[in-house]
Structure 1
């Protein structure tokens, strides 16, 4: 029984995390850890811990434990379904989550570093770009383009900070608070992704049990929950990443596709966001990679140096025209 209680407690911790905003430090804690100091391995270790508890309980020779796993799976699916509907890019929602601590307990360890103290290192895994992109999303700075080709990464940071402070009419002393909600958004998204991986793991386990028992499926299935997740479907282009940007830009400019850009300052803002978040892949030197940071490619084809890439777009258009002409000929012949 203790294992079952512990496992259930772990899921409750994901669904309703203990989050506090400490006024003294202008920072947010997540189960006692400052959000800007949580390492990427934190959620991997948490996932391994939960899976170990599931494996310890999943005794197929015990009818009561098998029943618990089925009931538990439905509960986890429901919790993931609920979390999937929360917009962690909304500052209004983020501000309702932490419990505000005005008088910090003397036993609380202060942050080792400030959330604003991030600098570009050139390392792919330093998280610098991810933090700035998320900050722009949370504070709705639609004009922010990390790959504008004009400014260095550290300059981009200064520009973004100034624009947010000006937009919110705040002084620089509030910068730590602004960063703390950015990190909170990233932390909560990682927590939701963790629960998503647990739901898939449980789905595999329950499907195995169902095969053994010929169990009748429950009304709520994994597909129901992930049906609204655009990243759960893979689209693979047989062209490079720049050509993908050119392809979507042409569809957009020709009016063949429409992306709602209401309240956006540029016509491609939501299109780029859709491409980045969709499960789209491209071909590069016979290797298939997922499309990320398509903003860089859009900057290439939208800036003053576009002449350098016109030939590549012409090659793409020739490829499309040739294939469509062949298809048209087939239809006419039939």
Structure 2
């Protein structure tokens, strides 16, 4: 989910993705692609790996245009390296004559607006399991919606011990047992997770925090200290740096309390402010958010609140007792608005 390249680098990768289709449709272009990537050494291997699973592109483009994409990739990489632009040798592809290139420069004949935008996001986890870590359904819903938008997502978690371990069959603490937040979070990330201390803001377009009691127990002390809570130093750093950089922050369920503590005056939602017969069992959290100096906005479980000034997007999720598809719908609204705030949103469904 993450690595935000410079503008030119993004173009290189976008073109490289198109080459994946080129290789399948035109063997000559495929050989040229392999030669090009191979000449780059380690960097070539990097791009080759990145070709897999990135954005689904228009497969109806002609081979000649795809050939031009290949040439453009060559140009972009050589430009980045500060080398003299290389010219392709011989004829490649049956449509080469229809796409003649000037000797002094290469030209791209395809508008990049035709491609699906690629987002680079991160998700910060707090363990594995609703009562002592990340709410797994919420983390999965976030990944589902990001995947549908063509986003690359990277998982992070702090390398710390959990506040405690809960037996989820009984809802009770397990005595004499401890677990590590990073290790437990790796279960959700399928092993692909990084220590939160290594996160750098410039590598990502946005950050999203799923809920679960881990946000209130491991990422902060809210579960114990309420309005007097402290937020883990790395979590606080990430929130402050993303806010300073003007990059969007998404949160759901109980995790909006993190922003309420770190960014006083921010607007967030955890749903309704009264329990309404048990439908909103954690409605009291709204009062704590106000006590922290943030503004609480009442929203339905299927909605998301957008604080345009602070670029903070929140949704109630499991703060509401409701069907799972309503939770997913609200998280989808949150993800969509986070992507809009990146400034890269193209409306791709």
- TM tier, shorter chain? under 0.3
TM-score (norm 1): 0.23
Q: Taking CA–CA contacts closer than 8 Å with sequence separation of 6 or more, which of the two structures ends up with the larger relative contact order?
A: 1
TM (norm. structure 2) is 0.22
Structure with the largest fraction of helix: 1
